Amino acid sequence: MVVVTYTRTECGVDFKNHDITLAVLNMEDIIHGHPKNFQINLGFQYEEDYLYCEDMRVCDLLNLKDVSSPVYVYSKKQIEANINKYKTAMKNSGRNIQLSYSVKANMNPSILELMRNHGLFLTLVSGHELRLALDLGQEPGKIVFNGNGKMNWEVDLACRSGVLLNVDSIFNMRQTIDVCKAGGYVANVLFRINPDINPNVHGYVSTGQEGSKFGISADELEEVLEMATTFEKIRVVGLHCHIGSTIREPEKFKQSTRVLVDLFNKLRSRFPDLYVLNLGGGLSIPYKSQISLPQKCKQVVQCEIDKNDDQEIARLYDNLLTSKLTLSTFLEAIKPLPRGKEIFLKLQEQVPSECLVPEPNDLLSSISDIIPPEAKVILEPGRSLVGNSAILLSRVLGTKLSKKKNFIVIDGAMTEVIRPCLYGAYHHVELAEPSRAAHLQNASDQSKLVWDVVGPVCESADFIGKDRLLFTPHEGCSIAVFDTGAYCSSMGSNYNMRVRPAELLVDGEKVKVIRRSETFEDMMKLYTNYYCFSQ
């Protein structure tokens, strides 16, 4: 194994020319460059600067037959750990809670199989997701079908199969009644309520405020209830809300749960079959778990350590500075220590909130007291079950240095990871192997520089990360975009005629191709006037 030790004492770039968020800048990293040796989560870890997914060194995966870059790499262990965190929290809550996986986060059938094997329900948002769930053998009673605009065939399939159907509006109620009349079905209905709560997230993933296109507003509710009462084939079984995604405040779930529970209590005498409270999904994941400790925070920690001579905190802090701990792990580790809590609280104000986010346990503790014990609660997370279970593994095509900006151009792009361009979202990016460029004589190649990591798509919105502090990579160097298990592959596109990449599932030392890469022929076969296929 090549272990590269970086020795470099001056930085090779004029930082004044860069518009840098100082939070990512860390002089310590620039000067020492300790090889990374840390556990990111149960699925991914660094050993001597090489990134591993479970037992597999990820750069080696690109040499596998039929695998090319970019490729999504999933850890089975991490998905199962995410499920188990919810299950433990649900068990401890003392309430009757069912976990339902929100399929739109990632619909790979192998991932759905994993969810089904763990007894999860599936929450769906389209007729084709419904077909897929039924094809995989999911029982209709364990399916929630949702949507603010359903086509007649979708409502028909949902009612015919007997799934739990979320009704979203007056017109959706009328549509459901019409479909039931025509087909002679009985529909098991949940009302999706708009509780008018601001979840404090990007506007594009806020879904339960006044003015949102989702859910039944307070003004419309009575009319929908009236319609349901007058048609006997509508069986009202539950209430539903989903206020948004990437939520970082458990308090928001508490607020929406209160609204739903109040309504539940009010409506129970009117609708005797009412027993389900579907509280939606939306818990975030710590997208910034691996960022460097901001410079101003270092003084805080050092000062506390000097003042109290706390050996344990000093040891943990040294591990953070020498790349043996991620920032999130450091914060979690100091929190329970006698003197650590104080430092934790001070730092918490200064590090970005995406660094540490609430866990399923925090979510459940905030709501379990207000849930009626007789209700059956459904939680339907997507992101927090799969988001941190995957990386997009790419290769560096080349680097560009200029006065204003430095670019690392990789073969992954917005077509595989659209979240930065769509929501200004942060995805952590790191080299997946030691850079061989550090061996070069050019001094500037041996220090970390500030880069924009971008793809090859012809669109300036095609960036993966901005102002990232990274060593200069060699051409062909493997590079990982983290936390791409949710809303990346499922939101992928063929823009620029790029083929959608393969997906690999790592299970210990085993690697399974769970989706092959698309080909040029796959893309062209739908076009009628293309000579290869039109005869």
Ligand X SMILES: *Cc1c(COP(=O)(O)O)cnc(C)c1O
Number of shown-chain residues binding ligand X (CB under 6 A):
18
CB of 404 to ligand X, least distance (A): 36
Cβ(430)–Cβ(479) below 8 Å: yes
For ligand X, the closer of residues 67 and 111 by Cβ is 111
CB 274 within 8 A of CB 383: no
Residues written for the chain: 535
Give SS3 for 407.
strand
Please, which residue, 249 or 459, has the CB nearer to ligand X?
249
Helices 360-367/250-267 angle, 10° precision: 40
CA–CA distance, 298 with 369 (Å, rounded to integer): 39
User: Is the peptide bond prior to 70 cis by the omega test (within 30 degrees of 0)?
Assistant: yes
Query: Among candidates 414, 430, 431, 415, which has minimal Cα distance to 475?
Result: 431
Task: Give the whole-angstrom CA distance, residue 145 versus residue 126.
Answer: 8
Question: Is the torsion defined by CA of 211, 213, 218, 220 positive or negative?
Answer: positive
390 and 515 Cβ atoms separated by less than 8 Å: no
**Least separation, in Å, of the C-beta of 76 and ligand X?**
19
Q: What minimum distance in Å lies between the beta carbon of 492 and ligand X?
A: 16
* Min dist. Cβ of residue 455 to ligand X (A): 24
Determine contact, residues 138/161, Cβ cutoff 8 Å.
no
Single out the segment in contact with ligand X by CB under 6 A; choices: 12-20, 62-70, 280-288, 338-346: 280-288
Q: Is 95 in the site for ligand X (CB under 6 A)?
A: no
Residue 127 binding ligand X, by CB under 6 A: no
Measured at the alpha carbon of residue 21, what is the angle toward residues 436 and 443, in degrees to the nearest 5? 30
Sign of CA dihedral 444, 449, 454, 455: positive
For residue 174, how far is the Cα from the chain centroid? 35
Site for ligand X contains 245 (CB under 6 A): yes
Output DSSP code: residue 206. B
Per annotation, catalytic residue among 11, 241, 421, 458: 458
**Which of 106, 123, 176, 489: binder of ligand X (CB under 6 A)?**
123
User: What is the smallest separation between the CB atom of 490 and ligand X, expressed in angstroms?
Assistant: 10
Does the footprint of ligand X cover residue 280 (CB under 6 A)? yes
Q: Is 242 in the site for ligand X (CB under 6 A)?
A: yes
Cβ 254 to ligand X shortest distance, Å: 17
Can residue 78 be called a binding residue for ligand X (CB under 6 A)?
Answer: no
Of 422, 498, 489, 423, the closest CA to residue 456 belongs to 498
Q: Which is nearer to ligand X, 384 or 435 (CB)?
A: 384
Least spacing, CB of residue 383 vs ligand X, in Å: 4
Distance CA 447, CA 471 (A): 6
**Residues between 167 and 196 that touch ligand X (CB under 6 A):** none
**419 is a contact residue toward ligand X (CB under 6 A):** no
Give catalytic status of residue 458 as yes or no.
Answer: yes
Nearest CA among 413, 410, 416, 414 for reference residue 397: 410
105 binds ligand X (CB under 6 A): yes
Alpha helices of 335-474 — where are they, by DSSP H? 340-350, 360-367, 383-386, 419-423
Angstrom CA distances, 469 to 26, 429, 430, 503, stand at 8, 9, 9, 28
Nearest to residue 140, comparing CAs of 164, 117, 124?
A: 164
Which is closer to ligand X, CB of 392 or CB of 502? 392
Alpha helices in 250-294 (DSSP H): 250-267
Give, as ranges, the residues between 380 and 409 that touch ligand X (CB under 6 A). 380-384
Does 146 contact ligand X by CB under 6 A?
Answer: yes
- Contact window for ligand X (CB under 6 A) among 278-286, 318-326, 441-449, 475-483: 278-286
Work out how close the CB of 245 gets to ligand X at its nearest, in angstroms, rounded to a whole number. Answer: 3
Q: Residue 146 or residue 194: which is nearer to ligand X going by CB?
A: 146
Identify which of residues 24 and 122 has a Cβ nearer to ligand X in the complex. Answer: 122
**Least spacing, CB of residue 80 vs ligand X, in Å:** 17
Examine residue 215 and tell whether it contacts ligand X (CB under 6 A).
no
Residues 441-500 that bind ligand X (CB under 6 A): 486
Closest CB to ligand X among residues 168, 310 = 168
Question: Looking at beta carbons, which pairs linking 525-533 to residues 24 or more positions away fall under 8 Å?
Answer: none
Tell me how far apart the alpha carbons of residues 416 and 413 are, in angstroms, rounded to a whole number. Answer: 6
From 100-108, 177-185, 268-276, 524-532, give the range in contact with ligand X by CB under 6 A.
100-108
Give the Cα separation of 410 and 62 in Å (integer): 14
Residue 376 C-beta: closest distance to ligand X, Å: 16
282 binds ligand X (CB under 6 A): yes
- Which among 481, 471, 478, 476 has a CA at the least distance from the CA of 413? 481
125 binds ligand X (CB under 6 A): yes
Residues forming contacts to ligand X in the complex (CB under 6 A) are: 102, 104-105, 123, 125, 146, 242, 245, 280-283, 380-384, 486
Active site positions, annotated: 458
